[in-house]
Each structure stands twice: as structure tokens, then as C-alpha cells.
Amino acid sequence: MDKVNQSSEMNDSYEYIYDGLIVQCHLEKYDRISGICFIAICCFSFLGNGLLVYALARYEDLKRVTMLFLLYLAVFDLLFTMTLPFWAVDHLIEWIFGDFMCKVLTGAYFVGLYGSLMLLTAMTVDCFFFIVVRSQWFTWRRRLNCAKAAFVGSALISFGASMKEVLNSTVETEHSVRLCRSLSSDDDHVGYYTQFAMLFVLPLVIISLCYGKILHTIMSSSGRRRYKTVLVVFLIILAFVGCWGPYHVVLIVKPQKPIANCRLDQIFIACRILAYFHCCVNPLLFLIRARSRKILSTLLCCKPQHRSTEPSDRSSDPSYFNNHQRASIASPQNVTELKSI
């Protein structure tokens, strides 16, 4: 993963050769733009994910696995969002929080980032097993336990994966400006390729394969909710690829350029802002459900609203729940309804 403060990776201004001419590249204004965008993303993410967490805890049944996954995703997104104001100050002014906070916030940044990506993949695999495989072993209680294990596992793996960056992070002074930066070498091409493979290609392949089978199962059935479900699936994949795709592509291209490239640095900054915006996407996807829009209206208008008590969530007996779910999913009308999972 690139260091959070890219201004530490690029000088605020430098000279490069273009068409035989020496051109001055100024990145100070892009640092300011990045800082302002980080603050805006932080505000939207705190508002959206905060409302999402409250709505899920207050009005939804967290014994439903999908709702539990959404809650965990919101927690990781909020952890990632919590670091953005500090990086905004770093870009707008300088790093004023000390070496210890540099390491702590770097760790929180990567845990939130890695955790949300791994949990999104785990959520996709869960949907695949529930809709496509339909194993009798995969009971409601086992699904619930697997969701909790996925959250804990994602947190632990993310924490371990972030330790290298945490240990390499320190505060250094460049041109009389203090920056929180990583001491790792910028020439570590293996690190870029490994990151691209593990944090983009692999999740994308898993998500694409799983949702391909899910879509095949859905489209082979008939139901009035079929197209809405296809839309939800499409938006999940589109959000993942649209936000993180350009960022990782540029991240792979940058090490291949031995000479500083001003335009590439500017493109990278824009792609990084787009990638960070992904933490605001989950609450928007949550609003696709009619019930979610009703809950939002309740929160904004302070109307009374009851917790969801759908028939599939009422029984605490795993065997009953599993039989009920299998009976429901066998129905052509209900097989396409993601709200039942």
C-alpha cells in the first residue's frame, strides 16, 4: 500500500524534462485539494456510516447475516475514516501529532482499509454458499458464526499486515516541514505487485466468480425482484472496481517510471481520492432497499419505527431456520430476494 501521506513521497515541486524542455511541476495546490477532499470524505463517511450503524443496531435484526456483515463493514469504514482528518492536516499544514500518533494512525488506516476489503470478499463468499451451494451443513447459526469469525479474522490479519508499515512509519523533516512517512524503499517493485495481486486482483476474481454464479442462479429463476437484485449485485462490483481499479493501476505504473512524471503524480492524487471515497459507498448501497429508505425517513423525521421481525429471523432454532431458508430459496419467487439473507 502506498504511504498515506503522498506528499512525503513526492516533493511539493520538482523539475522534469518534457519534450526537451525543463518544466517545473508544482504539487502544493494538489496537496491542498487532497486535504480538502479528505475532510469532505470524512464528513460524508462519518454521517453515512454513523447513521448506518445506528439504523442496523436500532431497527434491523442483527441475527440476519447480511445485516451483520453490513455492520462490520461500517465499523471498518469508520476506522479508516477516523484517520482522514489527520492526513488532511498533514497535507494542508504539516504533521503536528508526533511520532507515536504517526504509527498508531498508520496502523488504523491499514486495518480499516484491508479489513473492509477482506470482509467484502467474505460477504460475497457467504452469499455464494447461501444462494448457489445451499448445503445442509451451512445452517443459519453456522453462517452467523462464520460472519463473526470473518470479522475477527479480517481484523487480526489486517493488523498483522499493517505491522510492516507501522514499524517503518516515522516523522521526518523535509524542507522545514514535518511529514509522517514510511522509510520503506520506493523501488520495492515486489511490494507493489504483491499488493496489487492480494488486495485487488484476488478479491476481484473471487467476487466476480461468486457473483457470476449468483447471477446465473438468479437469472435462471423467475421473480419480480430479479432485476432489482441484479442491480444491487452490479453496483457492488461497480463500486469496488470503479473506486479501487484506477488507484491500483496507477500504483503499478508509478514504479515503472524511473523519471518523475508530473501528470502521473496528478493522476495518482485524483485516483487516491476516488479510492478513499469508497468508504462512503456502503451506506448509499444500503439505501437501495425500500425498508432502508423508510428507516432513513424515520431517522430524519423522528417517526416511530419497529425493529425488523421477518418470519425467517424469528426462530432461534438452527435446524428450523435452515429448513425454512431452504424451503424459501427453493421457491422461484424468493430465490432472488437478497433481503432474506
- Residues 105 and 32: their CA atoms lie apart, in Å, by 20
CB 246 within 8 A of CB 254: no
249 CB-near residues (< 8 Å, 6+ apart): 271
CB 77 within 8 A of CB 41: no
Cα-trace Rg, the chain: 22
Determine the pLDDT at residue 123. 87
Determine the pLDDT at residue 117. 84
Predicted structure pTM score: 0.79
Q: Helices 140-168 and 98-128, interaxial angle, to 10°?
A: 150
What 3 state SS string does the chain have?
A: CCCCCHHHCCCCEEEEEECCEEEEEECHHHHHHHHHHHHHHHHHHHHHHHHHHHHHHHHCCCCCHHHHHHHHHHHHHHHHHHHHHHHHHHHHCCCCCHHHHHHHHHHHHHHHHHHHHHHHHHHHHHHHHHHHHCCCCCCHHHHHHHHHHHHHHHHHHHHHHHHHHHHHEEEEEECCEEEEEECCCCCCHHHHHHHHHHHHHHHHHHHHHHHHHHHHHHHCCCCCCHHHHHHHHHHHHHHHHHHHHHHHHHHHHHHHCCCCCHHHHHHHHHHHHHHHHHHHHHHHHHCCCHHHHHHHHHHHHCCCCCCCCCHHHCCCCHHHHHHHHHHHHCCCCCCCCHHHC
Query: Which amino acid, residue 86?
Result: F
* Cell 421477518 belongs to residue: 310
CB 210 within 8 A of CB 217: no
Options 1.20.1070.10, 1.10.3720.10, 1.10.150.20, 2.40.50.100; which CATH number does 6-186+281-324 get? 1.20.1070.10
- Residues 214 and 208: their CA atoms lie apart, in Å, by 10
- Residues 259 and 17: their CA atoms lie apart, in Å, by 9
- Residue 341 corresponds to which cell in the numbers above? 439473507
CB 269 within 8 A of CB 30: yes
Closest CA to 3 of 186, 240, 187, 177: 186
Determine the pLDDT at residue 325. 44
Q: What is the pLDDT along the chain (341 residues), one digit of tens a residue?
A: 454 544 444 445 444 444 444 445 667 778 889 999 999 999 999 999 999 899 888 888 788 888 898 899 999 999 999 999 999 999 999 999 999 999 999 999 989 988 888 888 898 898 888 888 888 888 888 999 999 999 999 999 889 888 888 988 999 887 788 989 887 665 566 766 776 788 778 888 998 898 888 888 877 866 545 556 566 667 877 888 888 889 888 877 876 765 556 788 888 899 999 999 999 988 888 777 777 778 777 777 766 555 555 544 444 333 334 444 444 444 444 443 444 45
Determine the pLDDT at residue 306. 55
Domain ranges of the chain: 6-186+281-324
- Residues 197 and 306: their CA atoms lie apart, in Å, by 44
Integer distance in angstroms from the first to the last C-alpha of the chain? 33
